[in-house]
Chains A and B, each alone.
Chain A
Amino acid sequence: GAVVSQHPSRVICKSGTSVKIECRSLDFQATTMFWYRQFPKQSLMLMATSNEGSKATYEQGVEKDKFLINHASLTLSTLTVTSAHPEDSSFYICSARAGITHRFQETQYFGPGTRLLVL
């Protein structure tokens, strides 16, 4: 089955520092990756959509200069939280969708998430 990994699973950082989170599709090529944020006891909120080799599309209200997304290859996307502050503490989840030529078309497969705590 489709597997998506995230690294790290948990990170604690000081306020003002930057944190990079990796999202990898392990057994399929992901033309599109999505980044979500989940607050405690709430649903997932889509932050941005990234397509391999092009700039990410951010949802309204998401600061693109703060949440830098790079989709450098068909198996890797990264989210960098720049100058992190305590209010950025959250659970960040990525998902990946294969190209339309793949049997996993139209379905997103989710990573296990990254818990970010900013002190």
Chain B
Amino acid sequence: AQSVTQPDIHITVSEGASLELRCNYSYGATPYLFWYVQSPGQGLQLLLKYFSGDTLVQGIKGFEAEFKRSQSSFNLRKPSVHWSDAAEYFCAVGDFGNEKLTFGTGTRLTIIP
């Protein structure tokens, strides 16, 4: 069965600093990988996705993620965070066959001035 691990429950970074959120997955075939962001009381917004091809994918709001098959990782990065980036971030792996998304437990991002 597929699974996703987000080892960091909570991360605090200063505004303007760089950010990396970790995500490790377990899946038997080529994974479909996603990063979503959730603001308080809101649904999830898709930041970026990886299906195939270039392992470095660009998303919205200046985010990018790199798929590393050898490490089973799909870490999310941003070179300079803004206060508006404070939110909960979820990594997910999708099974195209049964169309199910399995989410990690999320990483809460706090931005300090």
Contact = CB atoms under 8 A, between A and B. Distances in A.
B90 A46 contact: no
B99 A49 contact: yes
Nearest to B94: A106
A6 B41 CA distance: 13
Nearest to A51: B99
A23 to B, nearest CB: 10
Secondary structure class of chain A's binding surface, majority of residues: strand
A44 B32 CA distance: 17
Nearest to B6: A43
Secondary structure class of chain B's binding surface, majority of residues: strand
A113 B43 CA distance: 5
Which residue among B34, B43, B49 has the maximum number of chain A CB atoms within 10 Å of its CB?
A: B43
Nearest to B108: A41
A46 B34 CA distance: 16
Interface residues of B, number: 22
A43 B100 contact: no
B10 to A, nearest CB: 10
Contact of B46 (A6, A46, A107): A107
A112 B42 CA distance: 5
Contacts of A93: 43-44
Contacts of A110: 36, 43-46
Contacts of B43: 4, 6, 93, 110-113
A115 interface: yes
B27 interface: no
Contacts of A113: 41-43
Contacts of A43: 90, 103-106
A111 B105 CA distance: 19
Interface of A: 4, 6, 32, 34, 42-44, 46, 49, 93, 95, 97, 106-113, 115
7 contacts: A43-B104, A43-B105, A107-B46, A110-B45, A112-B43, A113-B43, A115-B41
Interface of B: 32, 34, 36, 41-46, 49, 51, 90, 94, 96, 99-106
